[in-house]
Amino acid sequence: MPTNHIIVLDHRPEAAPSAGNFKMITAETPALQEGQVLVRHHFLSLDPYMRGRMNAGKNYAQPQPLGEVMIGGTVGEVVESHHPKFKMGETVLCMGGWQEYSVINATLPGALKHIDTEKIAISHYLGAVGMPGVTAWYGLVKIIHAKPGSTVTVSAASGAVGSAFGALAKARGLRVVGIAGGKAKCHYVVNELGFDACIDYKEHPDYVSLAKALKEACPNGIDGHFENVGGMVLDAVMLRVNDFARIAVCGMIAGYNGEPLVMTNPSVILRSRMTLEGFIVSEHMEVWPEALAELSNLIASKRFAPKETVTQGLAAAPEAFMGLLKGQNFGKQLVKLI
């Protein structure tokens, strides 16, 4: 069995996290038991939800245990198998974590999944055809319910979730306006992803200024919004929503380090008869097949070309994760392990 390199959470952040919260260790991979499969990871997914699990406080998921492999989705190949449904050389998806190899109990439902890389790149199964893509789909289809011709907005528009949301919304005949940080990201959102417009929030010192920009970009108001950020961005959007607007709340990255996120104008919720709904996509596994089928079709038909930011080597994962939390990535943030 191969020697494995593993990154564990060494200690919890007191405020903003740093790469120093993690530690790399070396361990021998244990011999396989009946029903287990050894997977060599090709790519590791880095996602904002991991930040919340670094804390010890109450969250929608259990905190990441100290001294154990950091949680994370992976794609790779089977290198040894004691399970009849998985053979050496097959490509698979699993929650293998921040390590080079993982031993998966393939008898557990959903623990290990075959993936087809003939038409879709292996890395996309961690992004557009994975959890981020399904997250975008659920917010758009099950919460926002926007009809063709409606206007929808999305924060963190150049990220893995935001870009998938835009592709899905455009394919369904919606007008899509993104909110992103920096001219380069806005250029990418409009010229490569095909959004109708994109607002650079870095050009606006406060939510009032941002709301004015939204009014220009959304002259008919906002019918639905997908929130990844919170704070000033959400305040600005709420000033421009139409009556009965629906907001899907997926993330609040502006407050991941414990900063208070004050809602400036909560009276708008009542005045506009607005619906705000938070969700965790792993609690809605029943929609995944339908969502993945639509996302796969968009990519296979070249109507959506997901962008990826790829960092090389397991040792670089902590710094890449810090960059993700600071918005330095374009599209899906990955770590290539081979």
Angle separating helix axes 160-171 and 288-300, nearest 10 degrees = 80
Give domain limits for the chain.
Answer: 3-127+307-336, 131-282
Q: What's the pLDDT score for residue 57?
A: 78
Q: What's the pLDDT score for residue 253?
A: 83
What average pLDDT score do residues 18-28 get? 97
Q: What's the pLDDT score for residue 134?
A: 97
User: For the chain, what is the mean pLDDT?
Assistant: 95
Give exposure, 178-187, as e/b (b: 16+ Cβ within 10 Å).
bbbbbeebbe
For 49-63, the pLDDT digits (tens) are 999 899 987 777 789
The answer to whether 333 and 28 are in contact (CB under 8 A) is: no
Cα dihedral: 170, 172, 177, 183 (round 10) = -20
Q: What's the pLDDT score for residue 32?
A: 97
The yes-or-no verdict on residue 68 having pLDDT over 90 is yes
Q: Which residues contact 62 (CB under 8 A, 6 or more apart)?
A: 53
State the amino acid at position 53 in one-letter form.
R
Tracing tokens 């899906």 back to the chain, one arrives at: 332
Q: What is the pTM of this model?
A: 0.93
Other beta carbons within 10 angstroms of residue 49's beta carbon come to 20
Q: What's the pLDDT score for residue 107?
A: 97
The answer to whether 146 and 140 are in contact (CB under 8 A) is: yes
| Range list of H helices, the chain | 49-53, 131-138, 160-171, 183-191, 207-217, 232-238, 267-271, 288-300, 317-325
For 145-168, the pLDDT digits (tens) are 989 999 999 999 999 999 999 999
Q: What's the pLDDT score for residue 176?
A: 98
State the amino acid at position 310 in one-letter form.
V
* 3-state DSSP assignment of residue 337: coil
The answer to whether 127 and 331 are in contact (CB under 8 A) is: yes
What average pLDDT score do residues 80-105 get? 98
> What is the DSSP annotation of 31-96?
PPPTTEEEEEEEEEE--THHHHHTSSS--SSPPPPTTSBPP--EEEEEEEESSTT--TT-EEEE--
The answer to whether 79 and 42 are in contact (CB under 8 A) is: no
When pLDDT is cut at 50, 70 and 90, the band that residue 223 belongs to is: very high
Instruction: Name the CATH code of domain 131-282 (choices 1.20.1050.10, 3.90.76.10, 3.40.50.720, 3.40.50.2000).
Output: 3.40.50.720
When pLDDT is cut at 50, 70 and 90, the band that residue 261 belongs to is: confident
At the fourth CATH level, which superfamily is domain 3-127+307-336?
A: Medium-chain alcohol dehydrogenases, catalytic domain (3.90.180.10)
What average pLDDT score do residues 35-60 get? 92
Phi first, then psi, for residue 331 (nearest 5°) are 70, -145
For 112-121, the pLDDT digits (tens) are 999 999 989 9
